C-alpha cells in the first residue's frame, strides 16, 4: 500500500484531482514479491583413515563445519560431511543448516584404516545428485580433505579415484582439495586429484578450523562474482 501511494502521489495535479483521496491508475499498483536467494551446499569429503594425523584433521573439519553453519541461515546455505576410511564411505552429516544437528553428529566420528578415496568421491557424487534434484538452484561446493593417497577400494585405487573425480568435473561441480600431505617426501597426489576434479588444491601445513572455513568462504565469494559477471 505504501509503495502504491508513493507511486501515485506525484501525479495527482496532472490527473486533475480536486477532492480527498488519490487518483490511482493501474501503473501505480505495487505488490510485495519475495526475492529469491540462491544458497550454497558445502559438502566435505574427509579422509578419516589412519594414514595421517586423522584426529587433528577431523578436529579442524568439525570446527570448520560448525563455523560455516553459524552463519549459514543468512545465505540459506547447507553443510554436509562425508568420511571415508577402511573400505567404505559414510554420510556422517546429511546436508543441514542446523547447528544443533551438526554438533550432535560430529561429536564422535571414528578414524583409522585404509583410504578408500574413490568410495568417498562416489558417495559425494550420489549426495550431490540427490541434492540437485531437491533444490536445483543450490550451488554445490565439494571440499575434499586428504593427502591424495588412495590405498583402498580395488585393485587400482588410484585409477578408481581419478575416474570418480572426473564424474564431478563432468558435472561442473566446484571443488577444492585441502592437501594434508606431511613429511619431507611429498608425492603431490592431492594436486593431481584437484586437476582431475577440475578444481584447485590448497596446502595447509597446519590445519585449523578457521583456515578451512575461510577458504570455503573465499571460494563461495569467487563463485558469486563469476555468476554476477
The pLDDT of 58-62, averaged and rounded, is 73
> Do both 105 and 208 map to the same domain?
yes
> Do both 59 and 12 map to the same domain?
no
Q: What is the pLDDT of residues 83-99, one digit of tens each?
A: 888 788 899 889 988 88
> Do both 1 and 70 map to the same domain?
no
Cell 578419516 sits at which residue? 48
> Do both 57 and 162 map to the same domain?
yes
Domain CATH number, residue 75? 3.40.50.410
> Do both 22 and 49 map to the same domain?
no
Q: What is the pLDDT of residues 179-209, one digit of tens each?
A: 877 655 566 788 889 999 998 888 755 445 5
> Do both 29 and 45 map to the same domain?
no
> Do both 25 and 49 map to the same domain?
no
> Do both 17 and 75 map to the same domain?
no
| pTM for this model (two decimals) | 0.73
> Do both 19 and 81 map to the same domain?
no
> Do both 204 and 104 map to the same domain?
yes
Q: Could you list the residue range(s) of the whole structural domain that residue 29 is in?
A: 1-33
> Do both 45 and 28 map to the same domain?
no
SS3 content of the chain, % helix, strand, coil (to 5): 45, 20, 35
> Do both 84 and 189 map to the same domain?
yes
- CA–CA separation, 171 and 110 (whole Å): 31
Residue 126: other Cβ atoms inside 10 A: 13
Count of domains observed in the chain: 2
Q: What is the pLDDT of residues 10-27, one digit of tens each?
A: 888 888 888 788 888 888
Inter-axis angle of helices 189-197 and 157-170, to 10 degrees?
A: 30
Amino acid at each position: 500500500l505504501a509503495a502504491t501511494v508513493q507511486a501515485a502521489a506525484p501525479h495527482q495535479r496532472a490527473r486533475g484531482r480536486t477532492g480527498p483521496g488519490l487518483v490511482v491508475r493501474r501503473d501505480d499498483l505495487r505488490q510485495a514479491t519475495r526475492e529469491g536467494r540462491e544458497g550454497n551446499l558445502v559438502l566435505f569429503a574427509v579422509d578419516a583413515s589412519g594414514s595421517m594425523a586423522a584426529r587433528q584433521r577431523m578436529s579442524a573439519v568439525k570446527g570448520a563445519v560448525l563455523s560455516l553453519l553459524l552463519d549459514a541461515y543468512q545465505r540459506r546455505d547447507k553443510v554436509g560431511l562425508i568420511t571415508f576410511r577402511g573400505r567404505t564411505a559414510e554420510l556422517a552429516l546429511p546436508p543441514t543448516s542446523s547447528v544443533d544437528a551438526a554438533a550432535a553428529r560430529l561429536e564422535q566420528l571414528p578414524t583409522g584404516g585404509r583410504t578408500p578415496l574413490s568410495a568417498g568421491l562416489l558417495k559425494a557424487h550420489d549426495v550431490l545428485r540427490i541434492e540437485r534434484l531437491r533444490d536445483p538452484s543450490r550451488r554445490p561446493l565439494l571440499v575434499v580433505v586428504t593427502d591424495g593417497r588412495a590405498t583402498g577400494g580395488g585393485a587400482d585405487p588410484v585409477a578408481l579415484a581419478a575416474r570418480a573425480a572426473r564424474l564431478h568435473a563432468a558435472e561442473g561441480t566446484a571443488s577444492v582439495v585441502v592437501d594434508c600431505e606431511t613429511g619431507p617426501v611429498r608425492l603431490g597426489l592431492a594436486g593431481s586429484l584437484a586437476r582431475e576434479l577440475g578444481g584447485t588444491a590448497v596446502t595447509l601445513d597446519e590445519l585449523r578450523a578457521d583456515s578451512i572455513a575461510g577458504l570455503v568462504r573465499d571460494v563461495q565469494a569467487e563463485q558469486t562474482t563469476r555468476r554476477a559477471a
